[in-house]
Amino acid sequence: MKSLLAVVASFLETRTSRSNLLALVRLLAVLFGLIALYSVGFHFLMAHEGQDHTWMTGIYWTLTVMSTLGFGDITFHTDLGRLFSLVVLITGVVFLLVLLPFTFIEFFYAPWMKAQAQARAPRELPPDTRRHVLLTRHGPITKYLIKLLKRHRYPYFILAPTLAEALQLHDQNLPVVLGEFNDPETYRNLRVEQAAMVVTTRTDVINANVTFTVRAVAPDVLIVATATSESARDALELAGATRVLRLELMMGQALARRVIDRDASAHRIGNLDGLHIAEASAGGTALVGRKIAATDLRDDIGVSVVGLWDRGAFKPAGPESEIGANSILVLAGTAEQIDRYNQQMARTGRGESRVVIIGSGRVGRATAEALDERQIEWKMIEKLPERVRDRSRAIIGDAAELDVIVESGMRESSSIIITTHDDDLNIFLTILYRRLRPNIQIICRCTDEINVSTLHRAGADLVLSYASMGANSIFNELRGRDTLLLAEGVYVFPVRVPPSLAGRTIADSAIRAETGCTVIAVEVGGKREINPPPDTSLPAGAEIVLIGTLEAEENFLEQFVRTKK
């Protein structure tokens, strides 16, 4: 009943709806008047023919003729009566079969359905809504972000600018609200001043509009926006965005970082209060085929291998973990220890690297710039000439054509980086290149997270997901600056030693075996020990720094924090 009353109230709240309802009432009044008039005319004409009928019979005859039922049990015998019957019949066809249905549907039923649909897409959140995340789009990035928000129990709502989009999201059982992006009242209704974050991932213009409008309503709320150019970044920062993400630059740098370089150096990807995290390709080094315990990296250099990237999946590294030819090592240590690792690996000669980049879009150009910084030679294949910036280093043509492949020098190259935004095309090209060059390194960009496993099956050595990279970067902002995002859902995060672990050693705690997290630092009394040995004690009140995936972190919290009182 409350739902029905809400729909009726929504239907009658506008002047147009009230006018339409009044027009329908007037039409019905004219129709009833005609029925009464024809019933009186029926009696007079029947009396003229010598027939006697009741008033109810007159109404009955008028309705059967006007509705075209025409039972035929009561008829006129004169031409005048038959002419009257034709007039009643034509009037009935016009009113009952044309005007009344059209008027009812146009002025009543359609607005009623619209009001009912609007009731499914509210324009306002309850006043007590707090610590929620507002999204302006349901796309690849926010789909992955929603998984993270659900896992960590953050409420979220998607702002849709049109009723059609709102209903489509509602039918997918997503929490959606309807409102205009540039209306401050929209964000007041969404309790933006009480929100944890606003995430806008639409076009640069819309993102700037959303940011400016939100900032006027809520000066302190966290706003994360995506940008496709430096000018857009500047505009968003001026509009008030807390963090502007250039995802194509992040993706390009990550793709280039995975290329097997000639000196096997480690590349720093993060720093958490003096704890440096770096990535290094193991391919072509003496580390391939050896177990981590046998590398002596901790004893000789001081760095620890805390994880391995294997075909796009992060795996915690244990002493028995074996390093493969395509493994990417995740190293933890001080700045001096990372430098010592690089000095040792710089003596490893792996030959000159040469890369073929497929696609000259934003990600492709960012990848090329990152390769230039590493002084790695590259050639680019692009189908659309207008997208090419440097014609001397580009091949114009279809990347699937054999003559284009030959011209690009792919047969002599060490790596291929596929950067197009079309996942289906990327899968096709991966299959093709793997058949042509079974031993070449293929690194691929993926737009939708669902296609990561397919690209690996197609033959890609490494796949970086645009969706997960963007979602994890946004989620990292939501969690705060006490965590460090590495890539694809892998975090370095500090936590106080839970009471259930106090007094135990790292080895006795079995943190890695139980949760998948690895202890990479222990801080006691303001003094931090990086890469502590397994027999290090975990005193009460100390802080430990862990590395692991979001799932591993959740396992740690469930195993040692939430369930242990």
- Burial of 352 (C-beta count, 10 Å sphere; 0-12/13-18/19+): exposed
- Burial of 355 (C-beta count, 10 Å sphere; 0-12/13-18/19+): buried
CA neighbor of 410 nearest in space, from 457, 442, 444: 442
Structural domain range at position 359: 354-468
Q: Is there a domain that residue 502 lies in?
A: yes
Statement to judge: residues 143 and 113 lie in one domain: no
Mean pLDDT of 324-347: 82
Q: At what angle do helices 110-120 and 163-171 cross, to 10 degrees?
A: 60
Dihedral sign (CA 324, 293, 490, 173): positive
φ, ψ of residue 398 to 5 degrees: the values are -80, 125
Q: At what angle do helices 247-257 and 466-479 cross, to 10 degrees?
A: 110
Q: Buried b / exposed e across 104-117, counting CB within 10 Å, b at 16+?
A: eeebbeebbeebbb
pLDDT at 230 over 80: yes
Q: 153-179: per-residue pLDDT in tens?
A: 899 999 999 888 988 898 898 999 999
pLDDT at 198 over 90: yes
What's 464's domain CATH number? 3.40.50.720
Q: Per DSSP, what are the bridge partners of residue 465?
A: 446
Q: Is there a domain that residue 473 lies in?
A: no
Between 101 and 417, residue with greater pLDDT? 417
pLDDT at 298 over 90: no
Using CA atoms, how far apart are residues 495 and 273, in angstroms rounded to an integer?
A: 14
pLDDT at 482 over 60: no
Statement to judge: residues 90 and 54 lie in one domain: yes
Statement to judge: residues 377 and 429 lie in one domain: yes
CA neighbor of 354 nearest in space, from 260, 230, 481, 475: 260
Please report the pLDDT score of residue 108 as a whole number: 65
Q: 9-30: per-residue pLDDT in tens?
A: 554 555 666 676 777 788 788 8
Contacts of 413 (CB under 8 A, 6+ apart): 354, 355, 356, 379, 440
Using CA atoms, how far apart are residues 131 and 122, in angstroms rounded to an integer?
A: 19
Question: How would you classify the pairing of strands 543-549 and 490-496?
Answer: antiparallel
Q: Are 444 and 426 in contact (CB under 8 A)?
A: yes
Between 550 and 535, residue with greater pLDDT? 535
Q: How confident is the model at residue 357 (pLDDT cuts 50, 70, 90)?
A: very high
Look up tokens 């020098």; give the residue: 409
pLDDT at 516 over 60: yes
Contacts of 235-239 with C-beta under 8 Å, sequence gap 24+, read 235/204, 235/208, 236/204, 236/207, 236/208, 236/211, 239/208, 239/211, 239/212, 239/215
Q: Is there a domain that residue 398 lies in?
A: yes
Please report the pLDDT score of residue 565 as a whole number: 45
Q: 17-75: per-residue pLDDT in tens?
A: 667 677 778 878 888 898 899 999 998 888 888 888 888 998 999 888 888 887 788 88
pLDDT at 363 over 90: yes
Statement to judge: residues 515 and 450 lie in one domain: no
Statement to judge: residues 519 and 420 lie in one domain: no
Please report the pLDDT score of residue 408 as a whole number: 92
Q: Is there a domain that residue 482 lies in?
A: no
Query: What tokens appear for 542 in the block?
Result: 């100390």
Locate all alpha helices (DSSP H) within 49-70, ordered by sequence: 55-66
| Alpha-carbon distances, residue 284 vs 97, 146, 339 (angstroms) | 82, 39, 20
Out of 439, 468, 497, a domain closes at 468
Out of 93, 120, 147, a domain closes at 120
Q: How confident is the model at residue 7 (pLDDT cuts 50, 70, 90)?
A: very low
Statement to judge: residues 517 and 416 lie in one domain: no
Between 137 and 553, residue with greater pLDDT? 137
The H or E element that residue 537 is part of is strand 537-538
Structural domains in the chain (count): 5
Statement to judge: residues 229 and 168 lie in one domain: yes
What's 294's domain CATH number? 3.30.70.1450
| Alpha-carbon distances, residue 141 vs 235, 260, 364, 426, 447 (angstroms) | 22, 28, 19, 18, 9
Contacts of 449 (CB under 8 A, 6+ apart): 140, 143, 144, 465, 467, 468
Out of 317, 345, 373, a domain closes at 345
Please report the pLDDT score of residue 2 as a whole number: 44
Statement to judge: residues 165 and 270 lie in one domain: no
Using CA atoms, how far apart are residues 277 and 408, in angstroms rounded to an integer?
A: 35
| Alpha-carbon distances, residue 164 vs 120, 167, 170, 177 (angstroms) | 11, 5, 10, 12
Q: How confident is the model at residue 367 (pLDDT cuts 50, 70, 90)?
A: very high
Statement to judge: residues 180 and 78 lie in one domain: no
Q: Which residue type is seen at 38?
A: Y
Q: Is there a domain that residue 125 lies in?
A: no
Q: Which residue type is seen at 81?
A: G
Look up tokens 């600018």; give the residue: 161
Mean pLDDT (the chain) is 85
DSSP 307: E
Please report the pLDDT score of residue 484 as a whole number: 67
Contacts of 545 (CB under 8 A, 6+ apart): 272, 275, 492, 493, 494, 519, 520, 521, 522, 523, 528
CA neighbor of 471 nearest in space, from 209, 159, 151: 151
Question: How would you classify the pairing of strands 223-226 and 243-245?
Answer: parallel
Using CA atoms, how far apart are residues 172 and 401, in angstroms rounded to an integer?
A: 41
Please report the pLDDT score of residue 118 as a whole number: 60
Statement to judge: residues 137 and 241 lie in one domain: yes
Q: Is there a domain that residue 65 lies in?
A: yes
Please report the pLDDT score of residue 231 as a whole number: 94
Q: Is there a domain that residue 251 lies in?
A: no
Query: What tokens appear for 264 in the block?
Result: 């096997």
Statement to judge: residues 105 and 148 lie in one domain: no
Contacts of 177 (CB under 8 A, 6+ apart): 121, 122, 123, 124, 125, 157, 158, 159, 160, 166, 189, 190
Q: Is there a domain that residue 481 lies in?
A: no
Q: Of the ranges 342-356, 362-376, 541-555, which one carries the lowest mean pLDDT score? A: 342-356
What's 98's domain CATH number? 1.10.287.70
CA dihedral 295→301→303→304, nearest 10 degrees, is 30
Please report the pLDDT score of residue 348 as a whole number: 61
Please report the pLDDT score of residue 237 as a whole number: 95
Q: Buried b / exposed e across 277-293, counting CB within 10 Å, b at 16+?
A: bbbbbbbbbebeeeebe
Statement to judge: residues 363 and 441 lie in one domain: yes
pLDDT over 70 percentage in the chain: 89
